[in-house]
Amino acid sequence: MSRVKICGLSRIEDVEAVNCALPDYVGFVFAPSRRRIDIRTAAGLKERLDPRIKAVGVFVNEDISVITEMVNNGIVDLIQLHGDEDEAYIRRLKGRLRGLREERSGAQQSVEQREERGEEQINESFREQIEGALNGQMPGESKRQLGGDIRENFKEQSRGKTKEHSDCSVIKAVGIDSSQSAAISALPPFAQQPASKQAASSQTQHVASQTAALSSQLPSFSQLPLLPTNMDYLLFDTLSTQRGGGGIAFDWKLLKEYHGTPYFLAGGLTIENVADVIQLLAPFCVDVSSGVETDGYKDPVKINEFVKAVRSVR
């Protein structure tokens, strides 16, 4: 089943609408757009977002430190790149994200150690206070209640506060111009786990060579000389001067023979056509913004109907 993303949230009303419809992802746009929001607004919206829904940050040539700070603060869960970001940029970005995970892992270990020490304190204090309660002839039920309260109190005091985030995937947008006969089916396939380091090196060289050979044929928002191969997902959208999407469909049949990296599909999707597109292509995720708006604002009824249309496809 294809997943669904509602992009371009900017108001509390938008969050309330998606919390009812429960798509898999929502998008916060931090690039030039009429839907652009600032970090403070995004943080407020994320606080109100149902935790079952993941937030995708949409960026164009953003400073990596700005992105990683948003990830670290739990504002975005996935990263969508719509600019000139190349393989080196994505490698640096992922390196920073890996560093954040390692820091959190170390913090979590420290928390667990504090909890172990706290448990020792709990046991000692528990014994002392229960002895005091016994001396005061406290009823049995009250003793048990007291014991539970003491334990929870000490656990809360010994528990550190750390942010927990899942691995933050990177999505790279590719613009498709329907007037071009793009060799989409020949894009490098999603990397499989090689059996050895030698095989991994050979596979990397093969993918790089294959990608370079195709680069002149691949329409892209930035006409990159080399399409990155180290992203987690692609996003196919209509080639447009408006980076971040223009709500116009391209010829989806161009993707029919493509079986490579899992991809998000965007551009001109509506309640009326999304089921047909999923049946044709079975993308990892369908991505909509203007298709669920009325007079330029997110429409709760359309959002709900779009999500239902996606999930009706079996």
In this structure, what CATH number is given to the domain that contains residue 37? 3.20.20.70
According to the model, what pLDDT value does residue 314 have?
86
According to the model, what pLDDT value does residue 269 have?
96
Q: Give the contacts of 48 (CB within 8 A, at least 6 positions apart).
A: 12, 15, 16, 19
Per DSSP, the three-state class of 24 is coil
Q: What is the pLDDT of residues 125-151, one digit of tens each?
A: 555 554 555 455 555 555 555 445 444
Q: In angstroms, rounded to a whole number, what is the distance separating the alpha carbons of residues 32 and 35?
A: 8
Do 204 and 254 sit in the same domain of this protein?
Answer: yes
Domain that holds residue 293: 3-100+164-311
Do 171 and 204 sit in the same domain of this protein?
Answer: yes
The pTM of this model reads: 0.70
Do 178 and 67 sit in the same domain of this protein?
Answer: yes
Where do the H-state alpha helices sit in the chain? 12-21, 39-48, 64-72, 87-135, 140-158, 197-214, 274-281, 300-311
59 contacts 81 by C-beta, under 8 angstroms: yes
Do 152 and 78 sit in the same domain of this protein?
Answer: no
Quick one: pLDDT band at residue 287, thresholds 50, 70, 90?
very high
Q: What is the pLDDT of residues 177-206, one digit of tens each?
A: 766 544 444 455 443 334 444 554 554 454
Minimum mean pLDDT range among 219-228, 254-263, 275-284: 219-228
Minimum mean pLDDT range among 7-16, 99-108, 284-293: 99-108
Quick one: pLDDT band at residue 214, thresholds 50, 70, 90?
very low
According to the model, what pLDDT value does residue 228 have?
77
Q: What is the mean pLDDT of the chain?
A: 77
Q: What is the pLDDT of residues 19-29, one digit of tens each?
A: 999 999 999 99
According to the model, what pLDDT value does residue 4 have?
98
Do 76 and 214 sit in the same domain of this protein?
Answer: yes
Do 76 and 33 sit in the same domain of this protein?
Answer: yes
What is the count of structural domains for the chain?
2
